[in-house]
């Protein structure tokens, strides 16, 4: 910061009432451009920041403009820019998910991700990105880290995370590395349960610690702290603590102040993860938890359950001395300093905080970014297992396909869904595609094997399974008796495609041809079709153990299908 910015920080802090300081600790949320609500936030509540959920371009520009125009102190405007500009505005480029970038083996895609998020985010008025995710996906059972991470290799995660941080901050958007002290060890999702990073201090230093140190050294301006316990480091900083007293990082002074501030030397803004999550709500009464997050060393409190009540809880904690004046002023000083470092006071004075809808539309229409999206889709798709002879998949070889879509809502092949788009792409390519429908039958009356082989030349599974406030991201098979389980994979050529989670082989280990795509955008569907039909090679390298440590998943059981005879109708 320059002298003028430092003076602005000090003068602003001195001018603030206790109420203004306490409210500055909050980052709230808006889902729309409702003018009355946005003005209420800026003029009456006066938070330090507001996160914008995805809106249409005109709505997004209007919401941010209303918020900034009516705020005395310029606002941090945040967004989940994890995979592209689509994290803040509909139509924004979905350039790639983190695991897609990692599957290319090329750090330039993380850098491109940072550029797209920076350019399109800043055009939308965003100055704070809740990304990159630098969790390490060590546990395949974890339902929420999954494709949102750069994989299970700490070196890869650190390199990709650093590239994103450096690039997005070149465009005036602060990066927020998350979720400290590191998700991906546990199989629990902090949205629904407090989770645990179970590594020893030495193991943590070599992995998560190395990744955080690398991104901090790259200049990351903020860190998001998760509702994740780290017992080893908690006990190092608090040797007398009992297991029952260990708290998640978001309310744990040993981790936030001791480990992150003092040991890692981070001096930027620390924000909690969403406090609407069960991972923090489960550990203590909310009235106690709210001021304790700031007392522990966090600077900002993300979201509320009931805005008026949570604001009152913070104020009451200050009155009781749970949150001291010294800690309050320190937190607000850091918030103001980040705003100054981003040039927000100057932009407020010039009117540049209010985004221009036309500029935003031009940014999201940038053809180069769509080209990058297509290139990453092509480079990332990973052929994990291949039955020799199955490729190329052409209408001349496999004219009749049974298509089995898998998702949390049943066999959904609506044309608006990725599964539906995949099915339509197969039809456009000349295949005769039949959508799987479970028959309400029991043992003794199921469709015969000979009837299935007479009807279909190939079975294609398309999985679109992700967890949303659920403890697992696993396939939910159809009734009766798992009717769509690939039991014919040794009889009819079968290809299993996952559009999201890379870990489905744990549930279908006998499948011989398995593909991970990490995403279900139209660009991915297009690239997938090119590869299935032999027009493009598979080049992706799995950033995780797609076999989930299961020896049988890496083995093809049973005799191989004789494709020469099969294609002549003799098998």
- Encoding tokens for residue 236? 């190092």
DSSP codes joined into one string, 370-394: HHHHHHHHHHH-EEEE--TT--S--
Count of C-beta atoms within a 10 Å radius of residue 351: 10
Dist. CA 55–CA 33, nearest whole Å: 8
Say whether 310 is catalytic: no
Dist. CA 571–CA 490, nearest whole Å: 12
* 292 neighbors 256 (Cβ within 8 angstroms): no
Dist. CA 311–CA 46, nearest whole Å: 11
* 176 neighbors 228 (Cβ within 8 angstroms): no
For 410: left if phi > 0, alpha if psi spans -120 to 50, otherwise beta; the answer is left
DSSP state of 249: G
Dihedral sign from CA coordinates of 218, 223, 225, 226: negative
Half-sphere exposure (Cβ direction) of 178: Cα atoms closer than 13 Å = 28
Start-end of H helices in 17-153: 18-24, 35-39, 57-69, 98-104, 108-123
Ranges of beta strands (E only) in 354-507 are 382-385, 400-407, 432-435, 458-464, 494-498
Q: Which of 45, 557, 525, 101 is nearest to 312 (CA)?
A: 45
Catalytic residue among 33, 135, 186, 273: 273
Residue appearing with tokens 């599974």? 461
The residues that are catalytic are 273
């Amino acid at each position: 910061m320059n002298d003028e910015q430092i003076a602005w920080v000090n003068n602003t802090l001195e001018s603030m009432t206790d109420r203004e300081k306490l409210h500055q600790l909050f980052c709230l949320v808006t889902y729309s451009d409702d003018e009355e609500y946005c003005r209420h936030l800026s003029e009456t509540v006066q938070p330090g920041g507001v996160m914008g959920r995805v809106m249409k371009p005109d709505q997004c520009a209007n919401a941010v403009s209303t918020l900034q125009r009516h705020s005395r102190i310029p606002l941090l405007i945040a967004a989940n820019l994890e995979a592209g500009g689509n994290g803040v505005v509909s139509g924004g480029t979905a350039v790639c998910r983190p695991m897609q970038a990692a599957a290319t083996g090329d750090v330039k895609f993380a850098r491109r991700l940072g550029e797209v998020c920076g350019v399109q985010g800043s055009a939308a008025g965003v100055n704070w990105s809740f990304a990159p995710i630098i969790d390490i996906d060590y546990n395949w059972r974890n339902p929420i880290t999954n494709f949102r991470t750069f994989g299970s290799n700490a070196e890869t995660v650190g390199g990709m995370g650093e590239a994103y941080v450096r690039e997005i901050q070149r465009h005036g958007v602060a990066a927020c590395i998350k979720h400290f002290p590191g998700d991906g060890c546990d199989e629990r999702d902090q949205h629904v349960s407090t989770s645990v990073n179970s590594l020893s201090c030495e193991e943590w230093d070599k992995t998560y610690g190395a990744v955080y140190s690398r991104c901090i050294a790259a200049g990351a301006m903020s860190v998001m702290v998760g509702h994740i316990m780290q017992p080893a480091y908690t006990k190092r900083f608090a040797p007398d603590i009992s297991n029952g007293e260990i708290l998640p990082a978001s309310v744990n002074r040993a981790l936030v102040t001791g480990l992150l501030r003092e040991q890692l030397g981070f001096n930027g803004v620390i924000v909690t993860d969403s406090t609407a999550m069960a991972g923090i709500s489960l550990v203590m009464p909310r009235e106690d938890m709210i001021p304790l997050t700031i007392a522990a060393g966090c600077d900002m409190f993300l979201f509320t359950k009931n805005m008026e009540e949570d604001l009152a809880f913070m104020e009451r904690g200050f009155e009781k001395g749970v949150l001291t004046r010294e800690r309050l002023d320190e937190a607000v000083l850091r918030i103001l300093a980040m705003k100054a470092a981003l040039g927000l006071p100057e932009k407020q004075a010039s009117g540049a905080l209010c985004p221009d809808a036309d500029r935003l539309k031009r940014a999201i229409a940038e053809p180069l970014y769509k080209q990058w999206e297509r290139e990453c889709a092509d480079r990332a798709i990973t052929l994990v297992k291949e039955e020799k002879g199955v490729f190329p998949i052409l209408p001349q070889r496999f004219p009749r396909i049974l298509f089995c879509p898998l998702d949390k809502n049943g066999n959904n092949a609506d044309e608006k869904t990725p599964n539906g788009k995949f099915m339509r792409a197969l039809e456009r390519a000349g295949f005769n595609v039949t959508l799987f429908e479970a028959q309400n039958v029991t043992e003794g009356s199921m469709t015969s094997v000979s009837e299935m082989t007479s009807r279909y030349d190939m079975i294609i599974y398309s999985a679109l399974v992700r967890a949303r406030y659920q403890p697992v991201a696993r396939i939910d098979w159809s009734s009766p008796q798992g009717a769509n389980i690939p039991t014919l994979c040794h009889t009819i050529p079968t290809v299993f495609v996952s559009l999201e989670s890379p870990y489905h082989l744990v549930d279908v280990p006998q499948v011989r041809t398995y593909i991970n795509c990490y995403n279900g955008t139209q660009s991915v569907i297009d690239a997938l079709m090119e590869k299935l039909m032999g027009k493009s090679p598979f080049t992706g390298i799995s950033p995780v153990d797609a076999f989930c440590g299961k020896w049988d998943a890496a083995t093809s059981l049973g005799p191989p299908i004789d494709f020469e005879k099969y294609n002549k109708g003799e098998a």
